[in-house]
Structure 1
Amino acid sequence: MSELVELSSTQHQGLKVRVNCGVEVAATQQIVKLRVNEVGRAAGNFPIFFTRSAQDGALVLSALTSFESQQNMFVKDGQWQSTYQPSAIKTFPFFLMRSKSDAKSYTIGIDEKNQVFSKEHGELLFEENGKASMQLSRAKVLLEADIQNDIHTFQFGKELEQMGLLKSIDLVVQYQDGTNQSITGLITIDEDKINALSAEQLHGLNQQGYLVQIHALLISIYQLNSIIQKQNSHIDLPKVAQLKIEVAKDRAAG
């Protein structure tokens, strides 16, 4: 990501943002970031996994949108095609950043060099009186909620990791033309270890509100079938013959 600058009603007066740019960018995202509060709704649309941040190795909750890199099977003709749209898409191109005036608080940042911004085309970020536009106001509400949602997501992943309830897997996609590819770096719930937990451990997870999320993550894996169906109906992509889920024995989840 390029360097963010703090959004300002004076500095960015007259700046416009391209409408629907979040979906346009998502069209090339094979994985889309999620927060733990989104899991229940997202699980009915996408397979959900943890991945590792390339920057610091932290667990990141993500929706898988395609078997092909630079593809998203849930975007067609510039339109979002599932009943749930992740917050990360709704808030783009606005991001949370540390305030330069107060290191303990957050503010909204933008990448001024991103082509979604211009003076000529799109929706104004601010009205003449400096009031935020409807699009910016909606994004601001979501971003403010995401501060706590990011904390809860970190705590969720950390708890699962500390309890040894995660396992690394590979998706092996076999195509009808005889070729295949592996999607690596995915981490999911180890169902066997969940089933082996004591009543006390299960109660503890339930008290934290995690059991519902755990089961939603497990159920979401069935949405891999949705991606297969979408890909096989796409005239420009190779047809999937079979999908195998393999435990990555040489790679620990932790």
Structure 2
Amino acid sequence: MHNNNYTLLDNVTHKDLRVIPHYSANFGDNVASVPVFATELANVIKHYPVLFYPTDKTTSDFTMVALLGLEAGENLFLNETLPESYQALRQQSGWAADYVPATVARGPFAIGLHENGNQVMVHVDASHPKLSTEQGKPLFLPKGGNSDYLNRISSILAVIHNGVQVTSDMVSMWHSMGLLEPMTVDIELVDGSKHTLGGHFAVSEEKVAALSATDLHTLHQHNYLQGLYLAMTSLNNLQTLIDLKNIRIHQELRAYA
């Protein structure tokens, strides 16, 4: 892990700055889960199981996360670990899915507030390994305007910025209604090895089905009902993770054969 060194992005200081748009363990992308936001949930649930991690056992706060691997330091969506023949997944510059969660897709960038406290500005981590002056996507056009790549990064940062508070409020309401429950999954892989996935919470299908008309109306009024069903449906993607893990095991077995 490198130490963050964020500075305000500008087209003079950073006129030659480029970003390598590739996902790799070498760039710190090999993480088993990442925070996700209500503002991207409809895209996230296409590929990833959405779970909830208790951030503080005393306050009952939860972080909504997308699960990327079955064990610590494992991201099964990094296709550098997949066989070359697995071309169908080889998308998104090293990422085996067509949507990358915003906290990963943002790369070396973050949103910060300007000194006046209300103007949102893009900051760049000057020590990030994806930065270059020789290769990658330029951030600025020759005359100083934003490149298409930087505009896309700005939209990804907006997903995070606009999603932080609404996600916190949404998950808090789900928890207060008793809709989150501890989840433990026992998994047997193709090589016979066994994994237990625990420590997270998930939306309880049984408790959602038992919601009263009043609670359903309250969730709908706050626009938290659709997200509830999306998060619940996303649990089907656990099988995707198991499939990707089995592909990796097959590859390793062939390598040692």
How does the TM-score come out when normalised to structure 1?
A: 0.80
Conserved 8 A contact 1:22-1:93: no
Number of equivalenced pairs: 237
Whichever residue aligns with residue 103 of structure 2, its letter is A
Query: Hey, what does 1:139 align to over in structure 2?
Result: 153
- 1:199 maps onto 2:213 in alignment: yes
> 2 CA distance for matches of 1:217 and 1:238?
32
> 2 CA distance for matches of 1:24 and 1:4?
20
Distance of aligned partners of 1:237 and 1:173 in 2 relative to their CA distance in 1, 3 Å threshold: farther
Once the two structures are superposed, residues 67-109 of structure 1 have per-residue CA deviations (whole angstroms, 9 ceiling, x without a partner) of: 133222222135222233322333222111232x222332111
> 1 CA distance for matches of 2:10 and 2:25?
24
Conserved 8 A contact 1:7-1:110: yes
Query: Hey, what does 1:9 align to over in structure 2?
Result: 11
Secondary structure at 1:97 match in 2: strand
Q: Which of residues 148, 151, 155 in structure 1 aligns to 2:165?
A: 151
Whichever residue aligns with residue 94 of structure 2, its letter is Q
Conserved 8 A contact 1:17-1:121: yes
Distance of aligned partners of 1:11 and 1:133 in 2 relative to their CA distance in 1, 3 Å threshold: same
5 Å-filtered alignment, 1:3-42, equals 3-21=5-23, 25=27, 27-42=29-44
Conserved 8 A contact 1:43-1:216: yes
Query: Hey, what does 2:45 align to over in structure 1?
Result: 43
Query: Hey, what does 2:90 align to over in structure 1?
Result: none
Q: Which of residues 72, 80, 97 in structure 1 aligns to 2:95?
A: 80
Conserved 8 A contact 2:16-2:133: yes
Secondary structure at 1:233 match in 2: helix
Query: Hey, what does 2:243 align to over in structure 1?
Result: 229
* 1:215 CA drift (Å): 1.4
5+ residue gaps in structure 2? Answer: 81-92
> 2 CA distance for matches of 1:237 and 1:25?
23
Secondary structure at 2:183 match in 1: strand
Once the two structures are superposed, residues 153-174 of structure 1 have per-residue CA deviations (whole angstroms, 9 ceiling, x without a partner) of: 1111121122222122233334
RMSD: 2.8
* 1:48 CA drift (Å): 0.9
Conserved 8 A contact 1:19-1:123: yes
Residue identity over aligned pairs, in percent, reads: 23
Distance of aligned partners of 1:58 and 1:17 in 2 relative to their CA distance in 1, 3 Å threshold: farther
Whichever residue aligns with residue 107 of structure 1, its letter is M
5+ residue gaps in structure 1? Answer: 240-254
